[in-house]
Amino acid sequence: MHKKFYITTPIYYVNDVPHIGHAYTTIAADVLARYHRLLGHDVFFLTGTDEHGQKVEKAALERGLTPKAHADLLTVNFQKLWKKLEITNDAFIRTTDREHISVVQELLQKLYDKGEIERRTYEGWYCTPDERFWTEKEIVDNKCPDCGRPVERITEDNYFFLMSRYQDRLIRHIEDHPGYIRPESRRNEVLGFLKSQKLGDLCISRPKARLSWGIELPFDRDFVTYVWFDALVNYLSATRYLSPAAKGSSEPSKREAFWWPADHHLVGKDILTTHSVYWSTMLMALGLPLPGNIFAHGWWTRDGKKMSKSIGNVIDPNEVADAHGVDSFRYFVLREVPFGLDGDFSIETFTTRFNTELANDLGNLLSRVLTMIGKYFDGRIPPPHLVTDENAHPIDLKLRMKASAIPSAIAEELGSLSFSKYLQEVWTLVSLANRYVEENAPWTLAKNKDLDRLGAVLYTLSESLRLIALYLYPVMPSTSQKIWDALGIDKKIAACRMDTEQPWGKLAIGAVIQPGAQLFPRIDKQKNRETKMDMPAEEKKQPAPQPAMTGHEPIGIEDFMKVDLRVGKIISAERVEKSEKLVKLKVDIGTEIPRQVVAGIGKSYTPEELIGKSIVIVANLKPAKLMGIESQGMLLAASNGDLLAVATFDRETKPGSRVK
């Protein structure tokens, strides 16, 4: 028996270009679709564009185009963006599709024939420029509450869907199905509203005299369908003509039955009512099953402010992805805010997460492991030197157990759409692997020629990285594939199954690693304040500003205490390419992440003799770039002409201890 998984995003209005809100829902849906494919489920992931109605007609008019020509142009922006963001939607619906139109008309006719739609005379206050009705209570001094222009009293005939009939049934459905509307707070809002107010009927037509850009009512050619009635039907109509063939049957008629109802409708909080009330009652009237879940996510602000075109602070997902990569954008939006709450986007928070979580925690872990395999094992995955769990090293077992526990944690977190918690779960493994490096000090094992243990340690780390990539694949598909490629795994994750890949020990011994470029080159926060090493030659020539007088004028203790001197233990050292002097060091100063320090001591020391030394680090120096590499501190050394002497300690000292 195949398990099917059907997920949708809202269909986006083609009145404007895509922004971060559109990208957010679509990325979230893509993560779930990819995850369910990894589980071996039959997946149908649908997105598309909403092309009828007043908003689109108005936008087209402003550009001097017919609504259809305008829609044809703007829908491409969405399709292109989804391609760039590696969205794997199985179909893209446009409400101007002939097949969709015919399903909308069929359903309207069905409801009309069943007596669920009625013609009524409607009287209300109408704002002509805004083209919408207001109630007596809403208008202010006979003016439109939205634009402030005078409203007129209009009486016109329209068709109404008798939604009020379903109020009690809807309340019961929401109460009986706690997962129907999520998150909990939104569910309570909808229930509160349904229980405290009488539900009205829904006007589902617009006279053609007022709006012609819509689907004609099949039972009255003078009217078009209200845009929301048309749009919501997309979730159902797509199953008939855009879904993958139903498993075990090639008959198109079986498709709707196979795919419907959807498992999740992901929507933004502002369109929850249309989905939870209009759509649910429409389905009830049609005698169709309701979707499994409607999830309303929060809204993004930028630097604490609402995004708006007039302020010009709308985030273009294209720009962020072009500047810093698709995967980091996908990661950020899902990691930063629990799905369901509002979130804020700022370059500062993006950069911090990028540099610490992606560049340091994950990117450095991979490059360290690959460098050591290259150096100590000729670039081949070494054997783990373990036979059973019994003779495994306890710290190896701890890492293995954590790695094996992640799939069930992911199932739980993604089951409740807790994307941020899911990523945090995977990051506990990333952090544990980083700690494992420090605890095992492979460089010391190498120095002591303990190649068996060194092999076991590097195998354990490579295998952890293989699993980290597998677990991160739904969010960061390219990065994950790059990690597998680098580990010499000759498989496409997209074609793999979680259950066959998740067992520990699947990494092939002897596989040749393929180190590539850094996964996440750090974003330089102070690009404009780079050190002279990175400056153009012209600027380099200028005389350096003279340092303040030192050694002559006495300073107070408070000045000296401003300098944070720490004991640092060098855990790795390598020469900086194309430089005689510079050596890149990783220095343990007692923090979880070691410091990277670039020091000009390459003429006086070989990297090998530096490893293991305890030195003095200026820990609160502003980071600077040397030959394009960030240095996060400085070591103390004395110069004897050309030969430098690094300050060390004459007794064992703990990394991170203050030097004063």
Sign of CA dihedral 53, 59, 65, 71: negative
Cis peptide before 183 (omega within 30 of 0): yes
CB of 221 to ligand ME8, least distance (A): 25
- Half-sphere CA count of 632, side-chain side, radius 13 A: 18
Least Å distance, CB 339 to ligand ME8, is: 11
Ramachandran region of residue 505, left (φ > 0), alpha (ψ -120 to 50) or beta? left
Contact between 52 and ligand ME8 (CB under 6 A)?
Answer: no
Cα distances from 628 to residues 15, 365, 603, 625, in angstroms, run 44, 20, 20, 5
Contact between 417 and ligand ME8 by CB under 6 A: the answer reads no
State in angstroms the smallest separation of the CB of 567 from ligand ME8: 47
CB 53 to ligand ME8: min, Å: 8
Q: Which strands make up the sheet holding 264-268, listed edge to edge?
A: 91-94, 42-50, 4-13, 264-268, 294-297, 181-182
Total Cβ atoms within 10 A of residue 539 = 9
Minimal distance in Å, beta carbon 422 to ligand ME8? 20
Collapsing DSSP states into helix, strand and coil, what is residue 94?
strand
Residue 338 binds to ligand ME8 (criterion: CB under 6 A): no
Burial (CB count <10 Å: 0-12, 13-18, 19+), residue 397: middle
Query: What 3-state DSSP class applies to 461?
Result: helix
Sequential DSSP letters for 593-656: SPEEEEES-TTT--HHHHTT-EEEEETTSPPEEETTEEE--EE-EEEETTEEEE-B-SS---TT
Burial class (CB in 10 A: 0-12, 13-18, 19+), 239: buried
Q: Give the range of 20-28, 77-85, 417-425, 614-622 binding ligand ME8 by CB under 6 A.
A: 20-28
- Does residue number 11 form part of the binding site for ligand ME8 (CB under 6 A)? yes
Radius of gyration of the chain (CA): 31
What is the greatest pairwise CA distance in the chain?
98
Q: Does 21 bind ligand ME8 (CB under 6 A)?
A: yes
Phi, psi of 59 (to 5 degrees): -60, -40
**Binding residue (CB under 6 A) for ligand ME8 from 4, 5, 6, 22:** 22
C-alpha distance across the termini of the chain, in Å: 70
- Looking at the Cβ atoms of 85 and 369, the one nearer to ligand ME8 is 85
| Calpha distance 378→140 (Å, rounded) | 79
By the rule CB under 6 A, 499 interacts with ligand ME8: no
381 binds ligand ME8 (CB under 6 A): no
When the beta carbons of 213 and 300 are compared against ligand ME8, the nearer one is 300
For residues 262 and 392, which CB has a smaller minimum distance to ligand ME8 in the complex? 262
Q: Tell me the window of 9-17, 56-64, 192-200, 350-358 that interacts with ligand ME8 (CB under 6 A).
A: 9-17
Of 38 and 108, CB closest to ligand ME8: 108
Q: Report which residue's Cβ sits closest to ligand ME8.
A: 268
Asked if 13 touches ligand ME8 (CB under 6 A), the answer is yes
Phi, psi angle pair for 517, to nearest 5°:
-70, 165
- Cβ neighbourhood burial of 459 (10 Å; 0-12, 13-18, 19+): buried
Cβ-based nearer residue to ligand ME8, 174 or 267: 267
- Binding string to ligand ME8 for residues 267 to 286, with x set by CB under 6 A, is what? xx-xx---------------
From 6-14, 153-161, 430-438, 549-557, span contacting ligand ME8 (CB under 6 A): 6-14
Interface positions, 209-268, toward ligand ME8 (CB under 6 A): 231-232, 267-268
User: Which range in 21-29, 116-124, 215-223, 412-420 contacts ligand ME8 by CB under 6 A?
Assistant: 21-29
Q: Is 307 a residue that touches ligand ME8 (CB under 6 A)?
A: yes
Q: Which is nearer to ligand ME8, 277 or 381 (CB)?
A: 277
C-alpha angle with apex 212: 211 to 217, nearest 5 degrees?
Answer: 105
| CB nearer ligand ME8, residue 308 or residue 620 | 308
Binding mask of the shown chain, residues 173 to 212, with x at each position contacting ligand ME8 by CB under 6 A: ----------------------------------------
- Select 50 or 501, whichever has its Cβ closest to ligand ME8: 50
Structure tokens at 395: 């710290």
Q: Does 299 bind ligand ME8 (CB under 6 A)?
A: yes
Q: Minimum Å distance from CB 69 to ligand ME8?
A: 19
Q: Which is nearer to ligand ME8, 125 or 345 (CB)?
A: 345
Name which of 79 and 431 has its Cβ closer to ligand ME8: 79
Residues facing 617 on adjacent strands? 566, 635
What does 498-548 look like in DSSP terms, one character per residue?
HHHH-STT-SPTTPBP---S-SSPPP-TTGGG--GGGS-HHHHHSPPPPPP
CB 34 → ligand ME8: shortest distance, Å?
21
Q: Look at residues 485, 390, 399, 392 and name the one whose alpha carbon lies nearest to residue 434.
A: 399
Q: Are strands 565-575 and 583-588 parallel, antiparallel or unpaired?
A: antiparallel
Distance CA 19, CA 328 (A): 17
Asked if residue 209 lies in contact with residue 36, where contact means CB atoms within 8 angstroms, the answer is no
Site for ligand ME8 in 594-613 (CB under 6 A): none
The only residue of 6, 7, 10, 469 in contact with ligand ME8, by rule CB under 6 A: 10
Provide the pairing of β-strand 629-631 with 634-635. unpaired
- Closest contact distance (angstroms) between CB of 296 and ligand ME8 is 8
How many residues sit in the footprint of ligand ME8 (CB under 6 A)?
A: 18
**Closest CB to ligand ME8 among 302 and 421?**
302
Beta bridge partners of 73: none
Applying CB under 6 A, which of residues 5, 166, 300, 419 lies at the interface with ligand ME8?
300
Nearer to ligand ME8 among residue 45 and residue 484 (C-beta): 45
Which one of the spans 16-24, 353-361, 417-425, 564-572 is the region binding ligand ME8 (CB under 6 A)? 16-24
**Least distance to ligand ME8, CB of residue 607, Å:** 49
**Closer residue to ligand ME8 in complex, CB, 291/568:** 291
98-101, Cβ contacts within 8 angstroms, sequence gap of 24 or more:
99/237, 99/240, 99/241, 100/233, 100/234, 100/237, 100/238, 100/241, 101/215
Q: Pick between residue 339 and residue 377 the one whose CB is nearest to ligand ME8.
A: 339
Binding site for ligand ME8 (CB under 6 A): 10-13, 21-22, 24-25, 50, 231-232, 267-268, 270-271, 299-300, 307
